Amino acid sequence: MDFKLKYQINRRYLTKPSKRRSGYSMSPGVRFIVAHDTGNPGSTASGNVNWYENTRDQYSASAHLFVDDRQILECVPAFTTDRPEKAWHVLYNVPTDDQLFGYDANDAAIGVEYCFRGRIDDDEAYRKYVWIMAYACHRFELDPRKSIVGHFFLDPNRRTDPVTGLAHSRRTYDQLLKDVAAEFEECTTGVTSGLPRGALLLETSGEATTTVRLNIRKGSPNTRAPIHETVPRGTTLPYVGIVEKGQPVNGNPIWYADANGNFFWSGGVTV
């Protein structure tokens, strides 16, 4: 089952080993997702990751992803390795996560932080927030109706996220859960575009030159995707990402992505 590609996932990993990023793998794998907000209106995804990195040996709290209106930023590996790493985003001594899912959140859940207010476009940040949780459900074969829980629900005596952050964009926690389920359906039902299961768009940029007459595919690194354009040999094609697990063509599964969400096969170009 393919998943509709809407956004890139950018990577800026925290240094390991450190208090914030131990490098330990999730031994049971990903079993659920915890929805957070930063609790700090106006702080951006990049700003939060910078602060985490600068204080990596002072504090242990961490998360896998920060989301604002500009980007989805992964700072603890969740999608780019076969064994996602642990992040410390829920207290170990609260029992609700174990009761609901059979595992502690730090051992088996991805933590996603919503950035809001200030100069952030809350609506666009929310769209990315919903999409990345739907994508995580797809990637780890989770039921989006049952596999997402708010931090406040796990630790009600201490936390209100993401309820407080969502309220700033006039949304509720219940609406979030419904929107993630709807996003999952939209991105998986009857789509002809998107990334294959297990594939990830890696951020990189440059230019490639076609060595043959080449089809540019619309929305998916797949020869079954609609042809956006056919270009002649010798055409220069800028790219903004690379997919290492697209559809193999002549045994080569690597495709490049352009800024418009189109893809071209690496075997037809030189870089």
Cα(205)–Cα(230) distance, rounded to whole angstroms?
Answer: 21
From 3.90.1150.10, 2.40.30.10, 2.30.30.40, 3.30.420.40, which CATH number describes the 201-270 domain?
Answer: 2.30.30.40
In this prediction, residue 192 carries a pLDDT of 46
pLDDT tens digits for 20-36?
999 999 988 999 999 99
pLDDT band at 91 (very low <50, low <70, confident <90, very high): very high
193: pLDDT strictly greater than 60:
no
The answer to whether the predicted template modeling score (pTM) of the entire model surpasses 0.95 is no
In this prediction, residue 1 carries a pLDDT of 59
pLDDT band at 259 (very low <50, low <70, confident <90, very high): confident
In this prediction, residue 197 carries a pLDDT of 65
Cα(88)–Cα(105) distance, rounded to whole angstroms?
Answer: 8
Residues 148-159, mean pLDDT to the nearest whole number = 97
Cα(266)–Cα(257) distance, rounded to whole angstroms?
Answer: 10
pLDDT band at 199 (very low <50, low <70, confident <90, very high): confident
Residues 141-149, mean pLDDT to the nearest whole number = 96
- Considering the segment(s) 9-188 as one domain, its CATH architecture is 3-Layer(aba) Sandwich (3.40)
In this prediction, residue 169 carries a pLDDT of 81
In this prediction, residue 190 carries a pLDDT of 52
Q: What is the mean pLDDT of the chain?
A: 92
Q: How many contiguous H segments (helices) and E segments (strands) does the chain have?
A: 7, 13
Residues 123-147, mean pLDDT to the nearest whole number = 95
Nearest to 65 by CA among 162, 142, 159: 162
Rounded alpha-carbon distances, angstroms, from residue 18 to 26, 54, 58, 126, 141 = 17, 11, 9, 30, 30
What ranges do the domains of the chain cover? 9-188, 201-270
In this prediction, residue 104 carries a pLDDT of 97
